Structures are given as C-alpha cells and as structure tokens.
Amino acid sequence: MFTLPQKDFRAPTTCLGPTCMQDLGSSHGEDLEGECSRKLDQKLPELRGVGDPAMISSDTSYLSSRGRMIKWFWDSAEEGYRTYHMDEYDEDKNPSGIINLGTSENKLCFDLLSWRLSQRDMQRVEPSLLQYADWRGHLFLREEVAKFLSFYCKSPVPLRPENVVVLNGGASLFSALATVLCEAGEAFLIPTPYYGAITQHVCLYGNIRLAYVYLDSEVTGLDTRPFQLTVEKLEMALREAHSEGVKVKGLILISPQNPLGDVYSPEELQEYLVFAKRHRLHVIVDEVYMLSVFEKSVGYRSVLSLERLPDPQRTHVMWATSKDFGMSGLRFGTLYTENQDVATAVASLCRYHGLSGLVQYQMAQLLRDHWINQVYLPENHARLKAAHTYVSEELRALGIPFLSRGAGFFIWVDLRKYLPKGTFEEEMLLWRRFLDNKVLLSFGKAFECKEPGWFRFVFSDQVHRLCLGMQRVQQVLAGKSQVAEDPRPSQSQEPSDQRR
C-alpha cells in the first residue's frame, strides 16, 4: 500500500528516483511516469486520511495538512528532475548534457504532428468555441471520439457520443473517477509494476489508495510470462486488502501495459473482468498506448472490442492523445463508459478539467482525419519499431536481458546482475550513477516493482540521442563512467533470460 511521510511535510524527503523527475516535477511536471513517493531507507507510516490532524506538522504553516501532502508530492521530485532540466542534452548547445531515456514521450513524430496541427482547417475561431459549453465536451467532439474509438478499438457495435466525456488528460480522469467511485480511504487494486503516477492521481484530490497486486518475473509454466497477472493473484490481493480493513472499490488495468510494454489477450481481459464482476468492482481500463502497438504480431485488443462486457456498468475505459499522438502537452483525454451516473458525475467535475474550445475543435479535426490511418500510424509504428530495434540490439550486445512485447515506448530492462546484494538501495545507487553519467532512466521501485534491479528504458526518441544514451549506460555498467564513485557491483549473478 502506498505510504507517505507523516511527520513533516515541509521538509520532504529527497527524490530518489528518475521517474520522480518526470513525474512530480517541481519546476517541470512532465510525464508523470512512475512515482517517487517514499524514501527507500526509511519505513514510512501508512497514508492517513486527508485532513487527518496527525498529518499537520506545524501551526505556522500556511497550508492545510492535505495541502502539505500535495506540496510534498511536488517537492519530492526536486532532485532528479531539476538535475535533468538544469542540464538538458542539446546536440549543438549542450552535447554533454543529460540524455532523457526516462520520460515516456514519443519524440519521433513531431514533424508529422506539427504539420497536421498547422493546417488551415485547425485554425477555426468562432463564438461557440469561445463560450461556455457542455462540460462533457462539445457534441461535435464527442461524436468524433465515439467514431474514432469505434474504428480503432474495433468495437462490435458503434460507440455512442453520450457515453463519452472529454477532459484535459488521463491524470484528471483518474482523479475524477477515484472521487466519484470511492469514498475517501477506499482503494483500487492495481497490478505492479505499474505507471506510478496513478498513486497521486487517485490520492491528491480523491484520497484513494492503491492496493498492489504484486507480480514477479518468474515464469511458472508453459503458458505464462514474466509479471503475468492471474485471477489467483487478484483474489489474493483482494483478500489481503480486506484483511487489512481496506475496502476495495475497483481494479485498474493498463493495456498496453506501462512499464512492461505488454498487452492483455482477450481471454485474459475477460477473466479479469469476470473476477471484477464477481466482487462488484469497477474496472478502469487505461488504453492510453492503444495505437502505439508497433509490432504487427502483437494481437492487441481493446476492451471495447469484446463481444460482451461482463459488467458494462462498472467498466470504464480511458484514452488520450498524450502517448499515441505524442502530444502530452496538448492535454486531451477521454472517458468511455456506458454508466450514465458515472459519466454525469465525471462531467460534473469536468468544470475543473475542461479544455479549450479551440483545442476541442482541433482534436475533432484530427480524430476524423483518415491521415491518421493512412499516414501517421504506419509512419509512427515504423519509427517506433526502428528505435525499439536499435535499443534492444544494443541491450543484446551488452548481454542484458529485457522484456518488451512490441507496444509502448519502453523496454523493461533487467539489471539485477549489477546489484550484488539485490537491494533497492543498490538499485538507487545504480540509477544515480546513470544520472551522474548523464543519462536519465526510470528505476523499478518507482513502478512498485517488487524485485530490485529492473529499469525502464524509453526508446521513442531520435537515434542520435538513443545512441549517446546507450553509450553512457554501457559506460556505467562497464564501470567506465568518470563519476562512478561507488565500487562497481559484481556481475556474477546470472539472471534468467526473460527477453521476449
């Protein structure tokens, strides 16, 4: 269960992770990938209810106890992200700056997107776009979203605009759903490793916890894979939460998965949904990487493609343009749910998550365009695949095992052999050596991975940056980095080959 420091929110713990940097960024709040929410060398108390007097550190503070908790999330990101932003790599101006392989952004297609968004049809300014509008989103946009999702999710029946709510990104949607589905202090199940920023998305406003379904890399049978989610593990995590007195209200599924780059098969999806129905749990299915499946052999299926949802009134799907269109700064996300109570309650909160009418118009123009299917996606997938091939071949050349199934922007890399004692402290030291050698990565603890030594490498960047980044990684692992002050870890521990 996620924990927070309790005694003094005005002196936050130092950031210990690369993903904090992207994530909780104090001067820059970027990817929100991962989570740096605890100091690894101390045992932190359980997250209390927001507003709990025990969280108030001082009478002199200008903030409420929850305000200090919220600020703590920002401050805790200081070290890593500030380091990066003070010294960003630039081919011409700062060639010795930090290469960012930590933030999950697609930097391969700005040329395509910039071209598309600069076309004349994007520049409409009319009164209705400048006035108050439906908080669910303009109807013209919700109609396009419904058509878009129907087509790209391969829905068996046309999806309906009245089930669509648009807002300014997936983070907001997690916040809104947590608040309208749960009472304060209740929990969602989530399999780990997972996109750690969800912790704060459900907590900062909603005061909701995450109950982890811990997965591991061990392969236990013919039909299993590393970090495989099973109904047995879901049942066990649910029982554990109950035994701790935590009420679980839902399950969060991410497919394609972040950081694993994995997808759930239709059969797996069906099993998880049936499990959720059995326990009357809501399911939030985050499909924010749905169009970033670059490997044709991967049989990705959206949950919206299933013939029949076991519990459609408790199944809520989210998608956004941040990842699939490489536009995390554009702030566009959408909910699809057949539950009109949920849609309405989320819409009611959308007065705080609204996006500009001008952007809504642009998104409608984009989503309706066959250019997506004819030009953008083929090119995007080709570029993702080439970048993925480059990094995975580099890893193979270095003898480093990894997981990657052909979706998303990242490779889940097994650096356990570089941690002699196999501790999270060593994981952190290794991460810091990477940063000191000017390459920013995300460490596994930030994704609540239970095995120390896993790192997420983002590959969706230009090859010259990837090349330099991988060189710097190799230097650290070979003990050749100029700044390595710690004794080089032994490489004697041979990990199992989990490359896929």
Q: Which of residues 198-227 bind its own copies (CB under 8 A)?
A: 200-201, 204-205
Cα gap 340→154, rounded to integer Å: 22
Q: Which of 373, 402, 393, 406 is nearest to 295 (CA)?
A: 406
Residues 172-191 that bind its own copies (CB under 8 A): 172, 175, 179-186
Point out which span in 298-306, 338-346, 400-408, 484-492 binds its own copies (CB under 8 A).
338-346
**Residue 303 or 428 having the CB closest to its own copies:** 303
Q: Is 469 in the site for its own copies (CB under 8 A)?
A: no
Point out which span in 91-99, 151-159, 283-291, 345-353 binds its own copies (CB under 8 A).
345-353
Residues 391-450 that bind its own copies (CB under 8 A): none
Dihedral, CA of residue 18, residue 22, residue 24 and residue 26, to nearest 10:
100
Main-chain phi, psi angles of 443, to 5 degrees? -95, 155
Q: Which of 46, 37, 43 is nearest to 70 (CA)?
A: 37
Q: Which two tokens stand for residue 393?
A: 């071949």
Determine which residue in the list 13, 30, 415, 447 makes contact with its own copies, applying CB under 8 A. 30
**Residue 170 or 226 having the CB closest to its own copies:** 170
**Residue 346 or 419 having the CB closest to its own copies:** 346
256: preceding bond cis by omega (within 30 degrees): yes
Q: What is the DSSP string of 388-453?
A: HHHHHHHHHHHT--EE--SBSSEEEEE-GGG-SS--HHHHHHHHHHHHHTTEE-EEGGGGT-SSTT
Q: Which two tokens stand for residue 264?
A: 């759930």
DSSP bridge partners of 468: none
Residues 353-372 that bind its own copies (CB under 8 A): 353-359, 362
Q: Are strands 187-192 and 410-414 parallel, antiparallel or unpaired?
A: unpaired
**Residue 142 or 301 having the CB closest to its own copies:** 142
Q: Is 386 in the site for its own copies (CB under 8 A)?
A: no
Q: Is 456 in the site for its own copies (CB under 8 A)?
A: no
Question: What sections of 204-265 are H helices per DSSP?
Answer: 231-243
Residues 273-332 that bind its own copies (CB under 8 A): 282, 313-314, 326-332
Cα gap 383→462, rounded to integer Å: 9
Q: What is the smallest separation between the CB atom of 69 and its own copies, expressed in angstroms?
A: 9
User: Residue 81 corresponds to which amino acid?
Assistant: Y
**Residue 106 or 255 having the CB closest to its own copies:** 106
Q: What is the smallest separation between the CB atom of 146 and its own copies, expressed in angstroms?
A: 16
Number of residues that bind its own copies (CB under 8 A): 95
Q: Which of 301, 298, 292, 297 is nearest to 273 (CA)?
A: 301
**Residue 227 or 409 having the CB closest to its own copies:** 409
**Residue 215 or 363 having the CB closest to its own copies:** 363
Question: Which uninterrupted H or E stretch holds 84?
Answer: helix 78-86
Point out which span in 65-73, 153-161, 302-310, 396-404 binds its own copies (CB under 8 A).
65-73
Q: Is 256 in the site for its own copies (CB under 8 A)?
A: no
Dihedral, CA of residue 325, residue 326, residue 327 and residue 328, to nearest 10:
120
End-to-end CA distance of the chain: 30
Q: What is the DSSP string of 285-319?
A: EE-TTTT-B--TTS----GGGSS--SSGGGEEEEE
Indicate if the alpha-carbon torsion angle 346, 348, 351, 354 is positive or negative.
positive
Q: What is the smallest separation between the CB atom of 36 and its own copies, expressed in angstroms?
A: 13
Q: What is the smallest separation between the CB atom of 27 and its own copies, expressed in angstroms?
A: 6
| Sheet (strand 454-458) strand order | 402-403, 410-414, 454-458, 442-443
Determine which residue in the list 42, 96, 131, 297 makes contact with its own copies, applying CB under 8 A. 131
Q: What is the smallest separation between the CB atom of 87 and its own copies, expressed in angstroms?
A: 16
**Residue 181 or 238 having the CB closest to its own copies:** 181
Point out which span in 24-32, 296-304, 437-445, 455-463 binds its own copies (CB under 8 A).
24-32
**Residue 159 or 204 having the CB closest to its own copies:** 204
Indicate if the alpha-carbon torsion angle 457, 460, 461, 467 is positive or negative.
positive
Q: What is the smallest separation between the CB atom of 400 and its own copies, expressed in angstroms?
A: 28
Cβ atoms within 10 Å, residue 93? 8
Q: What is the smallest separation between the CB atom of 164 and its own copies, expressed in angstroms?
A: 13
Determine which residue in the list 34, 80, 169, 408 makes contact with its own copies, applying CB under 8 A. 169
Is 136 within 8 Å of 314 (Cβ atoms)?
A: no
Point out which span in 286-294, 336-344, 369-377, 464-472 binds its own copies (CB under 8 A).
336-344
Q: Is 463 in the site for its own copies (CB under 8 A)?
A: no
Hunting for tokens 């392969």 — which residue is that? Answer: 219
**Residue 73 or 336 having the CB closest to its own copies:** 73
**Residue 175 or 475 having the CB closest to its own copies:** 175
Point out which span in 26-34, 91-99, 271-279, 300-308 binds its own copies (CB under 8 A).
26-34
Determine which residue in the list 36, 350, 466, 470 makes contact with its own copies, applying CB under 8 A. 350
Residues 69-128 that bind its own copies (CB under 8 A): 70-71, 73-75, 103, 105, 107, 110, 113-114, 117-118, 122-123, 125-128
